[in-house]
Amino acid sequence: MSLAFLFPGQGSQAVGMGQDLIEAFASAREVFEEVDEALKQKLSTLMRDGPEDQLTLTENAQPALMAVSVAVMRALEREFGVAIDKAAFVAGHSLGEYSALAASGAISVSDTARLLKLRGQAMQRAVPVGQGAMASLIGPKTDLALAEEAAKAGAEVGVCVVANDNNQGNVVISGEKAAVDWAIEKAKELGARAIPLNVSAPFHCPLMQPAADEMAEALAEAAISAPRAPVVANVTARPTNDPEVIRGLLVEQVTGRVRWRESVQWMAGEGGVTRFAEAGAGKVLSGMVKRIAPDAEAVPLNGPADLEAFAKTL
């Protein structure tokens, strides 16, 4: 049985996430302490107590979600002897790619926390609030071709692109608000439902270029080594373990499309993965895997009981 570890992205955060891990495992507690120290911020207290609107801020949500994911993996290894290199591949959705790199030892937890804090701030700075928008196109008729057609119509008004190709029935568009609004109307004509997303900025579109420039500068200084398992990158949907390639892909990822459907299809097909384990908060990616690769097994690893049960099956 070939295994891949997956790491969730923004939207999976919730007040209280990771608390049962902290209470159960000293190894998980260490991760939260490392992140607090790196950021000179009591992020762990915000994660435990809220308020939710502060946790949801991009600059807080991104390092917080990474902390939970890495805590899961560290507890798996220390408490149950399941190392990340048991996996054939690792992959993360958007910011989850940073979690995958931290968990696989390519970037230190402290550096990852600082990079994600900056990434969140840079994305927020790139576009004034209210000028950008994102929308999720959903429904049985929704596929990449429909979303591309809707985005093309929006692009006649302003910047509008497909940002996240999540799975059949769930594709996200991003860009200038007027353009996204226009694309929403086109998508409805084509038979999709459209839900405007409550986000602070239009992620994964060309409007994020100022954020990509900031990240390029920060990543140029970051120490990156080969991950212990190849990382299937968002922008290529293919694996790599080359530190310099990873550095470049993380910059591209800020403005580039999250090719999640293709990533999972590749792992379940050519990659031979039959089991996906989602390490971190929530189970969004597990749901996506079931829609993309119905023959594969998908298990969310959220709390101590999940980790113990999972370890027993290996």
Q: Looking at the annotation, which residues are catalytic? A: 94, 204
| Distance between first and last Cα of the chain | 9
What six digits make up the tokens of 152? Answer: 């093309």
- Of 150, 141, 256, give the one whose Cα is nearest residue 203: 256
Q: What share of the chain is helix, strand, coil (3-state, %, to 5)?
A: 50, 15, 30
- Order the strands of the 132-138 sheet from edge to edge: 160-167, 170-176, 132-138, 193-196
**SS3 of residue 87 by DSSP:** coil
Helix (H) or strand (E) holding 155: none
Which DSSP category does 43 fall into? H
What six digits make up the tokens of 115? Answer: 């990079």
CA distance 133 to 197: 7
Distance of CA 132 to the CA centre of its chain: 20
CA angle 235, 262, 238 (to 5 degrees): 55
